[in-house]
Structure formats: C-alpha cells, structure tokens
Amino acid sequence: MTKRREFITLIGGAAMWPLAARAQQPVRLPTIGFLGQSTLAVEGPRLAAFLMRLRELGWIEGRTVAIEYGWGEGSSEHFARIADDFVRLKVDVIVTSGTANVVAAKQATSVIPIVFAVAGDPVANNLVASLARPGGNVTGLSTVATDLAGKRVELLREAVPGVRRLATIGNLGNPLSVLEMSEVQTAAGKFHLDAVVLGIRRAEDIAPAFAGLRGPADALYVVADPLVNTNRGRIHTLAMGARLPAIYNAREHIEAGGLMSYGPNFPELYWRAADFVDRILRGAKPADLPVEQPTKFDLIINLTTAKALGLEVPPTLLARADEVIE
C-alpha cells in the first residue's frame, strides 16, 4: 500500500485503548468488534485499509461508529475470550479473519453478524453453507488458500532451480494449515521433490522444529495462519540462519525480510470487507451477501534477501513479479 504513513495515522492510538474504557461511551453508536488474528504491529496495514474504506463510506470512528479492538496473538484461547467480550458488549457486527477466529466468533454468537476479511475455503470449513448463499450470520471474503499451494511450489522451484528437498512449516492445530501442507506435499511430488514437514502448535515449537530438520533442505514453504503470522519475525530469522529461501502468502512477510510471496492483496481484502460492514450496518443480512473471492494475486520478490542468500533470481521470474523490493 502506498499510503503507509496515512494508514498509521488513521489507526493511531485508538486500537490500543482497553475494551472496558471504550465501551463506556455516553452516546451509543453503531459498534464494530474487530477481532485481530495476531497483533496491531502485524496487522496494521490491513486494519488501516479497513478504516480508510469505512471513512469513505461515512463511518468515522468516534463520530458515526465505535470500534472495539481485540488482538488474538495467534491464540485460540484469546480468540474465544475476545469473541465472548464482543457478545457481552453487544457489538453490531464482528469483523475478523482466519478460520479459527471465525469459528470462535460463530461459537460465541449465532445472532450478531460476522464478516471475515480473509478465510480459506469457508464452505469446507463449515463457516458458510455456500459461497452464493452463505446462510446464517456469517459472510465475507475467501482466499482459496489451498488452490494456491501448487503455484507457490512452482514459483519457489523456479526461483531456486537446484531445489531437491522442500521443507514446509505450519500449524498442526489448524485444520486449514494441515490441508495446505498436504497440498504442498502433493505439488512437491509432481516436481519430484522430497518434502518434509516442520509441524508446530505453539510459538515455543518453532525453534525446535528448525533444529530438528534432519538433513539439509533447499527451500521453505511457510503456511500462514494466526500463529505463524504472529511469529513471522522468528520464522524469518531461523530460515535465514538455515539459509533457506522461503515463500510466503503475503507482502507483509517480504517487508519483514522474506524472499518471496504469492497471494492476494490482503489490505485490499480488508478494504472490501468494509463494504460488507457498511451494508450490514445499513440493514443487510449476512445470509443474503454472497462470499467474494480475490480478483488479483501478487508476486513479490525481495532482491536484498536473495543477495543475502547468495541466490540469483532468474530474470524471467523478476519480469513477472508485481513488485521487486531492492
């Protein structure tokens, strides 16, 4: 996003106010409960895009709408607690992302509308009845995450021509991550790559997972989810220490020093999620709002990281990149 400073100004300190303090407003405004996957530091650009679109639609925080913030820090227990807080505060709509967060919100309420800015395969994960007719109180935007696994493996293979052994790191406690890791293994098999899984369930598992990698790997596929996103800095540091070129799903990981990413523009998805919220606050029902999907996927490459790894990215791949960071 090009207006990064404006984004940061927009979110300001508001997202850090305690829930209880913000809940006691003298005039009851329509209220959004924003349930973040990880932390404000990680999700700042996405939140800023959401707030900017809300402003364009006439929803100005503190004037025409109130927003309660809760940051899950990659913890299912936190997701459930924050969702319960939002129900107790009687918010008018819950905005979140990621299957685990949506499930926590659904378990907390079947009445309050829920909008997911990002969710992988919401039908298979029983978040909605169908994309065209969600039913119930949930709708939003799907990332079709597993469909992209083969493409990411292909891109990583092109960036690292000599790759023979591919490591994959992901959260074994997240069914969607497990499904994507399976897709990665299938894709690796098609390219005759040896695939190894580094499974984690909590932040403390990350370092031992890398340390337990038996035999050298040539590249790393990072399966994103709230736990991984919250600990992206740790994963990047360990990947660089092991000299593993890594592919991720979003630009934010490349800004943090990752080699390359391929996936939808996540701030844009949050921007579009604001339209769902606008329609719901004006009377629409989630059951009547079809789930939307990304219209564009971005390939981002960090040449500084490539040089640090001693990797020469093929010019043909650089020419296809939507953005090259130098």
The structural domains of the chain, with segments of one domain joined by +, span 4-144+265-296, 146-264+298-325
Lowest-confidence segment of 176-180, 270-274, 284-288, 302-306 by average pLDDT: 176-180
Query: Is 4-144+265-296's fold the same as 146-264+298-325's?
Result: yes
The pLDDT confidence band at residue 1, using thresholds 50, 70 and 90, is very low
Please state the rounded mean pLDDT for residues 163-169: 95
Q: What is the mean pLDDT of residues 44-64?
A: 97
The whole-chain average pLDDT of the chain stands at 90
Cα distance between residue 131 and residue 26, in whole Å: 39
Instruction: Look at 20 and 125; give whichever has higher pLDDT.
Output: 125
* pLDDT tens-place string over residues 184-215: 999 999 999 999 999 999 999 999 999 988 77
Q: Which residues of 272-310 are buried (b: 16+ CB within 10 A; e: fewer)?
A: bbbbbbbbbbeeeebeebebbebeebbbbbbbebbeebe
CA trace torsion 147, 149, 155, 160 (10° rounding): -170
Mean pLDDT along residues 147-173: 93
pLDDT at residue 3 in the model: 47
Residue 8 clears pLDDT 60, i.e. is over it: no
Which class in CATH covers the domain with range 146-264+298-325? alpha beta
pLDDT of residue 158: 94
Does the structure show a pLDDT above 90 at 57?
yes
pLDDT at 172: 95
Any idea of the CA torsion for 273, 278, 282, 287, to the nearest 10 degrees? -10
pLDDT, tens digit, 9 for 90 and up, residues 226-284: 899 999 999 999 999 999 999 999 988 998 899 999 999 999 999 999 999 999 999 99
CATH of 4-144+265-296, one of 3.10.20.740, 3.40.50.300, 1.10.3210.10, 3.40.50.2300: 3.40.50.2300
More confident position, 145 or 137: 137
Taking the C-alpha atoms of residue 262 and residue 300, their distance in angstroms, rounded to an integer, is 7
Which residues lie below 8 Å from residue 254, measured CB to CB, with a gap of 6+?
Answer: 248, 260, 261, 300, 301, 302, 305, 325
Amino acid at 4: R
The pLDDT tens digits of the residues spanning 152-163 come to 999 999 999 889
Average pLDDT over residues 15-37: 72
